[in-house]
Amino acid sequence: MAQLIELPRRAVETTARTASTAVTAPFRPFRPLLPDHSVDEWGRDDHLVRLLGPLARLRWDVSVGGLHHLPAKAGALLVTNERRWSYSPLYVSLALSRATGRPVRFVGRPDHAPFGAGLRRIGALLDDPTEVHGALRHGELVVMATSSTNHPRFAGSVDHELVGAAVTAHVAVIPVASMSSPFNRTARAEVGAPIRLRTKRRGPLAEIEIAEAAQRHLQRILDELGGMQTGMVAIDWLGEG
Amino acid sequence: MILVSGQRLLVSGMGGELGSLVASLLEQEPWVGSLCGIDVDPPRRRLRTAQFHRIEPSDRERIVDVVTTFDPHVLIHLAVWEPDARAGTAHAKQFTTDATTAILGAAAECPSLEGIVVRSGIEIYGRNRHSLTRPDESVAPDPTSEYGRMVERIETVAQSVAQRIGVAVGSLRLAPVLGPHVPSPLGRLLRQPVVPFSILADPPFAVVEDVDAARAFVAAAKLRLDQPINVVAPGAITGLQAIMRGKRVPLPLVGPEWYLARQLSHLGGAPIPEHVMEVLHRGRLADGTRAHDVLGLVPATSTPEVIDRLFRWESVVRITKPQMRAATIHGVA
């Protein structure tokens, strides 16, 4: 039979609580901006992502196509092209996350504060095949970029080591063509069909061939999307990216 | 696996909160025949059938004598001193090394021994630059704190014993363990009225409740675990979020002033050891899915819930004289 013990409150605790209330009172209006339960097991803060959404839309108004190619629950590695300084993995992940309602992560955060820590809160992962493999194995959608190019409609090469993470995690590799302009908000993210090799490989050739196929598929989608039409052919390329 | 009843289990570190919790769970298991415990402190729970031997970790001869006489089938090695939990870092390291050497060495002399389960921690993965956000058990240990190196050594010693005598060795890599009476430097720090956090990083971390950790040890002993397993509560939380949940005053720090904060916190009774600093600066997450696959264990309490409970525990429990008398009359010690 248990005994119920009336516990005395320590004066110091009450004082601390009063002090805490006094200190935090001025910040109370901002409290909804700082929820205390919004970080997932990879460090992504869904609340922060929602909060930054309107801010991101001030910069990128992304139209998304081909969503039916994305798996409903399973993980997938999404390969997107990147023009230098276009931050395409960032806007593609935010746009796809909004469109699918699933957290979409992206590869390429530096591992130092405050930038790395900040990027982790919006879903960034380290540029490490093991880290990507872990996320894919747990059914996450992960966006990785090709090597960046100077031309907006050229898809760069795809890192086959990161593709290898998808191969070993047995998830699809899906090309996502992205286009944006440095001068206006218009942006596009077109999801292509999952890459399938004609010849099934058992060894490391699989990732190399899938990486090459992903680059080809991306290039084809980019060609199909066409470029921006400014009316002045000579400077059209400036408006793309 | 078909278990023969009447198994002999030895729990080192039975006096601690986690050890006595594991012992009380083992007493309820039908396959456990006899239970023996060793620690420097007496058990913190009422144990009905377990034998307990109060031995200093440095008293190797007596440890060897007790262990070899008992001749266990399974050894659960929980005699691990987390720095600044019950002893300072230097003492914790010394006690842990002494206990590991004596107990694992003695266990190797037992002819009936079939399995060893050791307590380890996810601190073993370290938090170097570019270390994985959420390492799983396949990631090579690379500890970056004293506690991480301590648990790595325990695993190494246990593995070498296993190789020499051919028994199964499993290690449970626990996230920081929190519980109502668990001496934890992280828990103690978070319960301070003013709690420092890294404003530039504020990384996420995971913890595990003592009951879930104890259940993992029972399952591992039952299965004769022979691999490392992460035991981590689902979910994650950042330092600032934990402070806000506890309605404490957050103290944002950037860098050099951490030294001063550590000294002040030490004076306030909550020292911040290296591995807790790491939690606040670099975070501490781990992939705990293998615990479900191998042990069939899903921690019942999520990380935010463990943190909530941490703040609900009373700081001081005073039993006044009349209450003690009443307790004696009702048969409760």
**Most B CBs within 10 Å: which of A20, A33, A120, as the mutation test of the B interface?**
A20
Of A81, A140, A79, A130, residue with least CA distance to A105: A140
Cβ–Cβ gap B241/A8 under 8 Å: no
pLDDT at A183: 83
Residues of B within 8 A of A131 (CB-CB) are: 132-134
Cβ–Cβ gap A36/B202 under 8 Å: no
b vs e for A34-56, b when ≥16 Cβ sit within 10 Å of the residue's Cβ?
Answer: eebbbbbbbbbbbbbbebeeeeb
Interface of B with A in 13-32 (CB under 8 A): none
SS3 labels along chain B: CCCCCCEEEEEECCCCHHHHHHHHHHHCCCCEEEEEEEECCCCCCCCCCCEEEECCCCCHHHHHHHHHHHCCCEEEECCCCCECCCECHHHHHHHHHHHHHHHHHHHCCCCCCCEEEEEEEHHHHCCCCCCCCCCCCCCCCCCCCHHHHHHHHHHHHHHHHHHHHCCEEEEEEECCEECCCCCCHHHHHHCCCEEEEECCCCCEECCEEHHHHHHHHHHHHHHCCCCEEEECCCCCEEHHHHHHHCCCEEEEECCCHHHHHHHHHHHCCCCCCHHHHHHHHHCECCCCHHHHHHHCCCCCCCHHHHHHHHHHCCCCCCCCHHHHHHHHHCCCC
CA distance, residue A176 to nearest chain B CA (Å):
25
Cβ–Cβ gap A40/B289 under 8 Å: no
Residues of B within 8 A of A128 (CB-CB) are: 130, 132
Cβ–Cβ gap A37/B304 under 8 Å: yes
Helix/strand/coil for A169: coil
ipTM field = 0.82
Angle, helices B60-70 vs B89-107, to 10°: value is: 40
Cβ–Cβ gap B134/A35 under 8 Å: no
Cβ–Cβ gap B236/A2 under 8 Å: no
Residues of B within 8 A of A38 (CB-CB) are: 241
| Strand B237-238 versus strand B204-205 pairing type | antiparallel
Residue range A133-144: average pLDDT? 96
The region of weakest confidence among A135-149, A219-233, B191-205 is A219-233
CA distance, residue B6 to nearest chain A CA (Å):
30
Chain A residues bordering chain B (beta-carbon distance below 8 Å): 1-3, 5, 7-8, 10, 12-13, 15-17, 19-21, 23-24, 34-43, 111-114, 117, 120, 125-126, 128, 130-131, 134, 138
Burial class (CB in 10 A: 0-12, 13-18, 19+), A25: exposed
pLDDT confidence tier of residue A241, bands split at 50, 70 and 90? very low
Give A223-226 contacts, CB < 8 A, sequence gap 24+: A223/A153, A225/A153, A225/A177, A225/A179, A225/A188, A225/A190
DSSP A193: P
The region of weakest confidence among A43-52, A98-107, A109-118, B311-320 is B311-320
Q: Does pLDDT of A151 surpass 90?
A: no
pLDDT at B233: 97
Q: Rounded to an integer, what distance in angstroms lies between the CA atom of residue A95 and that of residue A105?
A: 11
Q: Per the structure, how many domains does chain A have?
A: 1
Is residue A86 one of the residues assigned to a domain?
Answer: yes
pLDDT at B256: 84
* All residues at 6 or more sequence positions from B252 whose CB lies less than 8 Å from its CB, including other chains: B196, B197, B198, B199
Q: Rounded to an integer, what distance in angstroms lies between the CA atom of residue B147 and that of residue B328?
A: 41
A132, closest residue in chain B (CA to CA): B132
Sign for the CA dihedral angle at B1, B3, B7, B13 comes to positive
Let me know: does A76 contact A87? Beta carbons within 8 Å.
no
CATH assignment of B7-180+207-233+287-299? 3.40.50.720
* Residue found under tokens 């620690």: B39
Burial class (CB in 10 A: 0-12, 13-18, 19+), A102: middle
Is residue A30 one of the residues assigned to a domain?
Answer: no
Q: Does any CB of chain A come closer than 8 Å to the CB of residue B142?
A: no
pLDDT confidence tier of residue A229, bands split at 50, 70 and 90? low
DSSP A184: S
CATH number, position A83: 3.40.1130.10
pLDDT at B171: 97
Cβ–Cβ gap B133/A3 under 8 Å: no
Cβ–Cβ gap A7/B314 under 8 Å: yes
**Most A CBs within 10 Å: which of B202, B247, B289, B320, as the mutation test of the A interface?**
B202
The region of weakest confidence among A87-96, A228-237, B169-178, B197-206 is A228-237
Q: What are the structural domain ranges in chain B?
A: 7-180+207-233+287-299
Cross-strand bridge partners of residue B241 = none
Is residue A97 one of the residues assigned to a domain?
Answer: yes
Q: Does pLDDT of A6 surpass 80?
A: no
Cross-strand bridge partners of residue B54 = B39
Phi (first) and psi of residue B83, to 5 degrees: -55, 135
Cβ–Cβ gap B330/A111 under 8 Å: no
Residue range A113-134: average pLDDT? 94
Task: Verify cis geometry, omega within 30 degrees of 0, for the bond prior to A26.
Answer: no
pLDDT at B268: 85
Q: How far is CA A200 from the centre of its chain?
A: 29
Phi (first) and psi of residue A54, to 5 degrees: -60, -35
Q: Does pLDDT of A236 surpass 50?
A: yes
Let me know: does B9 contact B26? Beta carbons within 8 Å.
yes
Cβ–Cβ gap A112/B238 under 8 Å: no
Q: Could you tell me the mean pLDDT of each successive run of 10 residues in chain B, 333 residues long? A: 81 95 96 95 91 94 95 96 94 95 95 96 95 95 96 96 93 94 93 92 95 97 96 96 92 89 90 95 95 94 95 69 53 39
Cβ–Cβ gap A131/B238 under 8 Å: no
A3, closest residue in chain B (CA to CA): B327
Let me know: does B92 contact B150? Beta carbons within 8 Å.
yes
pLDDT at A198: 84
Closest partner CB to B315 (pick from A10, A40, A138): A10
pLDDT at B332: 40
Residues of A within 8 A of B317 (CB-CB) are: 5, 7
Cβ–Cβ gap B248/A8 under 8 Å: no
pLDDT at B305: 95
CA distance, residue B181 to nearest chain A CA (Å):
16
Side chain identity at residue B86, one-letter code: R
Side chain identity at residue B49, one-letter code: T
Q: Does pLDDT of A240 surpass 90?
A: no
Length of chain B, in residues: 333
Q: Does any CB of chain A come closer than 8 Å to the CB of residue B245?
A: yes
Range of the domain at A231: 46-239
Cβ–Cβ gap A134/B319 under 8 Å: no
pLDDT at A153: 83
b vs e for B309-327, b when ≥16 Cβ sit within 10 Å of the residue's Cβ?
Answer: ebeeeeeeeeeeeeeeeeb
Other CB atoms within 10 Å distance of the CB of residue B18? 24
pLDDT at B235: 95
The region of weakest confidence among A89-98, A127-136, A151-160, A208-217 is A151-160
Q: Does pLDDT of A21 surpass 60?
A: yes
Cβ–Cβ gap B130/A111 under 8 Å: yes
